[in-house]
Amino acid sequence: MSGGRWNLRGTPVVYTSATLSLAAFEYFVNVDPDDAPGDLVAMPADIPEALAVSSIVIARLPRNWRAAPAPRALGRMGTTWARERKTAVLAVPSAVIPQERNYLLNPLHPLFPRIRIGGGEPFAFDPRMWKA
């Protein structure tokens, strides 16, 4: 298990976005066009309203939280959340569009099975997105 902006290596976390368009932007800025597969799939995840969601707000983050590579402090924050298992979902600001939210899902949380993962449907970027 590799780490990400919000989790350290070895900590299982599922990254999702509030919208498909945000997920597409997140993917687009993190993949080299030469490595982009031609068979992407979009999968919806429904988080029931009754499920508690923890949140990280920008005001509590280090000034350089949007840097690439991400500050290690962010990985520690998400890893702490995952290990404590207080909630199955953590809302975090998107480094790509800070006004929008990504949702981290903890597959080891006992309430994780309440999150309903829908069937996938093919997803493709408009070819103009890959222009130099």
Could you report the per-residue pLDDT of 76-113, keeping only the tens digit for each?
A: 999 999 999 999 999 999 999 999 999 999 999 999 99
Global confidence as pTM:
0.92
DSSP character at residue 102: E
Could you report the per-residue pLDDT of 17-42, keeping only the tens digit for each?
A: 999 999 999 998 888 877 878 899 99
